[in-house]
């Protein structure tokens, strides 16, 4: 079975899992069952069975197993009692009989009963979801409702964190970042707190700077001034809290879902910026490099010639190459290639969820629809066609941090390779820096 077919099935199920609303897992289970039945109707038994390997590696089975319990609760509860589903009842489904549904049920039953990383199986985790449950040894409908509520709360919490990270983005920009400039505005020292006075000092410094020849440079840009003014006016209560204008780096990190970094000096903010970048995939663009100073023929004055970073040029050339379709490919294949571009050896690679997200982002700028309503690839594009990634790279970076993160990692790899090459060349054939004979 072609991997792309299995990938598309996984993506349709993942899309259902990502859909807001109760019992999303139950709908994901029925979606997977329908897809497998349709696939089996046009493929051999061996090909259908091979999909299980792809499903197990995709990471969707734990939630689909919950969906199986939600959807078929009364059928799995063979004793038809009010005590819920026991392990013995789940074990009755661990062997399929060749039918698509029975095979899928067997896969999910084994998923529920298999020990996890901590030696505890998923069944036990579900059985203890509802603290008021009658029996911690069985899965009741109350346990599944508790799971649904907790999963929804977790999803909502992650969305709130993401919203705070978006609003706080200007605070993490610049070198030092704007947040560090605000913190240090009093006496140059940082304690991890930004007060209302710190913000007013920054605005005063902006006004002073605006009257000099350096107007609009460094952190004193009109955009930063407007942002700080908005903070003072309470426009972003998700950052400062209601009825407050100041905030601390620790509180901001908590609201944004970031690992806390203790701030004792302005240099500590670099570590906090790195935590933010790792979480969002938003990295500063590498500064443009300059060519080494080259002497003129008469050993006169030298002039520095600015140029685009060679590693950046090389990276963008690689991105351009990866963005063109190859034989039998669609947007999915381009997305997968781009998201794995910066991987180091041994990395597990991009998740199917992330690939599906970028696939849709590419389709929004490409205009060529290579996926039908069932998520299947059709050969509408041709080998060598441009997917439109390079022409819309900034837009794609803005809406897809995972893409930006992958390309940033690729550029770092290129820079490291260039540095290693230069070191080797310098050791074997050092240049003599002098003029004349």
Residue 348 and residue 415 share a domain: yes
Contact 25, 16 (CB under 8 A): no
Residue 324 and residue 207 share a domain: no
pLDDT number for residue 92: 92
Question: 230 lies in a domain?
Answer: yes
Question: 292 lies in a domain?
Answer: no
Nearest one of 145, 147, 144, 127 to 136, comparing CA atoms: 127
Phi-psi region for residue 436, left (φ > 0), alpha (ψ -120 to 50) or beta? left
Residue 388 and residue 337 share a domain: yes
Nearest one of 194, 192, 225, 195 to 208, comparing CA atoms: 225
pLDDT number for residue 182: 92
pLDDT number for residue 346: 53
Residue 403 and residue 367 share a domain: yes
Question: 330 lies in a domain?
Answer: yes
Cross-strand bridge partners of residue 290: 306
pLDDT number for residue 379: 47
Contact 212, 220 (CB under 8 A): no
Range of the domain at 412: 310-423
pLDDT number for residue 94: 92
Residue 272 and residue 216 share a domain: yes
Residue 174 and residue 141 share a domain: no
For residue 434, give every residue at least 6 positions away whose Cβ sits within 8 Å of its Cβ, in sequence order, or none: none
Three-state helix/strand/coil letters over the chain: CCHHHHHHHHHHHHHHHCCCCCCHHHHHHHHHHHHHHHHHCCCCHHHHHHHHHHHHHHCCHHHHHHHHHHHCHHHHCCCCCCCCECHHHHHCCCCCCCCHHHHHHHHHHHHHHCECCCCCEHHHHHHCCCCCCCCCCCECHHHHHHHHHHHHHHHHHHHHHHHHHHHCHHHHCCCCCHHHHHHCCCCCCCCCEECHHHHHHHHHHHHHHCCCCCCCCCCCCHHHHHHHHHHHCCCCHHHHCCCCCCEEHHHHHHHCCCCCCCCCCCCHHHHHHHHHHHHHCCCCCCCCCECCCCCCCCCCCCCCCECCCHHHHHHHHHHHHHCECCCCCCHHHHHHHHHCCCCCCCCCCCCHHHHHHHHHHHHHHHCCCCECCCCCECCCCCCCCECCCHHHHHHHHHHCHHHHHHHHHHHHHHHHHHHHHHHHHHHHCCCCCCCCC
Instruction: Using the 3D structure, point to which of 120, 141, 160 is the last residue of a domain.
Output: 160
Question: 435 lies in a domain?
Answer: no
pLDDT tens for the 437 residues of the chain, in order: 445 677 788 888 888 887 766 678 888 899 999 988 888 888 777 777 777 777 777 788 888 999 999 999 999 998 877 678 999 999 999 998 888 899 999 999 999 998 866 667 889 888 877 655 556 788 888 888 888 777 777 777 888 888 889 999 999 998 889 999 999 887 788 889 999 999 999 999 888 888 888 788 888 899 999 999 999 888 888 888 777 778 888 988 888 888 888 898 888 898 898 889 888 876 554 434 434 444 444 444 444 443 446 778 888 888 888 988 887 777 888 888 999 888 876 566 788 888 888 888 888 777 665 554 455 444 456 777 788 888 888 778 777 888 888 888 888 888 878 777 776 666 665 554 444 44
pLDDT number for residue 130: 61
Residue 371 and residue 390 share a domain: yes
Q: Provide the number of structural domains found in the chain.
A: 3
Residue 185 and residue 134 share a domain: no
Q: Is 59 exposed, middle or buried (0-12, 13-18, 19+ CB in 10 A)?
A: middle
Question: 417 lies in a domain?
Answer: yes
Question: 122 lies in a domain?
Answer: yes
Residue 337 and residue 205 share a domain: no
Residue 98 and residue 10 share a domain: yes
Nearest one of 346, 351, 317 to 335, comparing CA atoms: 351
Residue 177 and residue 113 share a domain: no
Instruction: Using the 3D structure, point to which of 160, 188, 215 is the last residue of a domain.
Output: 160
Question: 325 lies in a domain?
Answer: yes
Residue 213 and residue 265 share a domain: yes
Question: 403 lies in a domain?
Answer: yes
For residue 273, give every residue at least 6 positions away whose Cβ sits within 8 Å of its Cβ, in sequence order, or none: 172, 177
């Amino acid at each position: 079975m072609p991997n792309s077919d299995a990938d598309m099935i996984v993506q349709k199920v993942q899309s259902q899992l990502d859909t807001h609303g109760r019992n999303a897992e139950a709908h994901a289970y029925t979606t997977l069952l329908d897809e497998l039945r349709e696939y089996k109707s046009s493929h051999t038994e061996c090909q259908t069975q091979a999909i299980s390997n792809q499903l197990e590696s995709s990471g969707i089975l734990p939630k689909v197993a919950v969906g199986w319990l939600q959807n078929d609760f009364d059928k799995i509860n063979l004793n038809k009692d009010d005590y819920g589903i026991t392990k013995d009842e789940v074990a009755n489904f661990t062997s399929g009989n060749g039918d698509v549904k029975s095979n899928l049920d067997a896969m999910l039953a084994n998923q529920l009963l298999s020990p996890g990383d901590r030696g505890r199986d998923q069944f036990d985790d579900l059985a203890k979801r509802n603290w008021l449950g009658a029996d911690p040894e069985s899965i009741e409908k109350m346990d599944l409702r508790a799971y649904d509520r907790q999963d929804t709360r977790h999803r909502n919490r992650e969305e709130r964190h993401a919203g705070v990270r978006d609003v706080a983005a200007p605070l993490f920009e610049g070198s030092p970042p704007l947040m560090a400039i605000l913190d240090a505005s009093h006496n140059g020292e940082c304690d991890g707190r930004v007060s209302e006075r710190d913000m007013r000092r920054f605005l005063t410094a902006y006004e002073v700077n605006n009257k000099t020849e350096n107007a609009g440079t460094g952190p004193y840009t009109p955009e930063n001034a407007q942002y700080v003014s908005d903070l003072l006016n309470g426009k972003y209560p998700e950052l400062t809290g209601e009825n407050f204008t100041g905030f601390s780096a620790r509180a901001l990190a908590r609201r944004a879902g970031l690992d806390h970094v203790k701030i004792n000096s302005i240099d500590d903010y670099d570590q906090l910026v790195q935590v933010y970048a790792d979480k969002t995939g938003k990295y500063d663009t590498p500064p443009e490099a300059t060519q080494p100073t080259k002497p003129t023929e008469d050993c006169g004055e030298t002039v520095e010639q600015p140029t685009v970073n060679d590693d950046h040029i090389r990276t963008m050339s690689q991105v351009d190459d990866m963005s063109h379709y190859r034989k039998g490919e669609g947007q999915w294949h381009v997305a997968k290639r781009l998201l794995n571009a910066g991987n180091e050896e041994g990395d597990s690679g991009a998740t199917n969820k992330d690939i599906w997200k970028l696939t849709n982002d590419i389709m929004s700028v490409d205009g060529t629809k290579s996926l039908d309503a069932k998520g299947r690839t059709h050969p509408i594009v041709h080998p060598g066609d441009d997917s439109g990634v390079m022409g819309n790279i900034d837009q794609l970076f803005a809406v897809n941090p995972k893409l930006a993160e992958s390309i940033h990692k690729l550029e770092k790899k290129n820079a490291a390779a260039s540095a290693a090459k230069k070191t080797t060349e310098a050791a074997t054939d050092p240049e003599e820096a002098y003029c004349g004979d």
